[in-house]
Structure 1
Amino acid sequence: MATVLVVGFDPHAVPGMDGDGLRAVLDAEPARFATHGIDAAMTLVAPDGTAEPAIVAALGSRPWDVVVIGGGIRKPEPALPFFERVVNLVRRHAPEAAIAFHTGGADSVEAARRWLEQDVDRADLR
């Protein structure tokens, strides 16, 4: 069974986000992964000093086929340094995993499947 880790900001920890609305969307994603036969986990972090250790722990908890990095981390320009750290943490702590990006909380499955369904030797991507 394919394994996917989704990494994103906890919407309740980011000022100005609709925490309850986005969290409801995120909470529906594990069931969507399951319908595709994908074993998925989600690590939601606050944009503070607790994020990096939480991400490293999740990356090291098991082998991952794909790590999906959420749009909240990737899109806002002020988050660029944090986004770079997350990408490099994935490279360091889950080097066999493909890296995917979603556009919002409701398309993590599609982001992961782009890589899971490709007949790609991931070693060629490094």
Structure 2
Amino acid sequence: MSEPRVLVLGLDPFRVPGPWDPQPVADKIEAGMAQFEAAGVGARSCLVGLDGSDDIETVLTAALTERPWEVVVVGGGIRRAEGQLFEDVINLVRRHAPGAAIAFNETPDDTYRAAARRLNGA
């Protein structure tokens, strides 16, 4: 596997308050990440919880500053979350990964396709 070029930001389905079954979403996230491996593109995911167990800004900042990212994919859970989470995440990406393209997936299992639209040399 090559060095990570893509960072995928999303919600950990097991730490999103319910009642709901998070397993189907977790399975789709896993399938989406497997597509990066199959394509030989290094990727890493950073999933945060909405259950109060994370300092979301700290967790995302650590991931964004871990290395230079070519693409940052912002998942649908973040985009649809209540409040200003989406706005905060976009500003964190701008601040801490200014050289990265930003992509948005439609579903968790099309994350590779979203990144590939913005990935140089994919």
Quick check: 33-42 or 20-29, which moved more?
20-29
Deviation at 1:101, TM superposition (A): 0.5
Measured on the aligned residues, the alpha-carbon RMSD in Å equals 1.8
Question: In the aligned structure 1, how far is the partner of 2:80 from the partner of 2:105?
Answer: 10
State the partner residue of 2:5.
3
Deviation at 1:52, TM superposition (A): 1.1
Deviation at 1:30, TM superposition (A): 2.6
Question: In the aligned structure 2, how far is the partner of 1:8 from the partner of 1:70?
Answer: 5
Gap runs ≥5 in structure 2: none
**Alignment match of 2:115 (pick from 84, 108, 112):** 112
Deviation at 1:19, TM superposition (A): 1.4
| Deviant stretches of 4+, over 4 Å | none
**Alignment match of 1:102 (pick from 95, 100, 105):** 105
- Structure holding more helix per residue: 1
Q: Percent identity?
A: 46
Question: In the aligned structure 2, how far is the partner of 1:36 from the partner of 1:59?
Answer: 22
Q: Which amino acid counterpart does residue 3 of structure 1 have in structure 2?
A: R
Partner SS, residue 90 of structure 1: helix
Gap runs ≥5 in structure 1: 119-126
Q: Which amino acid counterpart does residue 73 of structure 2 have in structure 1?
A: V
Aligned residues: 116
TM-score, normalising length: structure 1: 0.84
Matched, 1:69 2:74: yes
State the partner residue of 1:42.
45
TM-score, normalising length: structure 2: 0.86
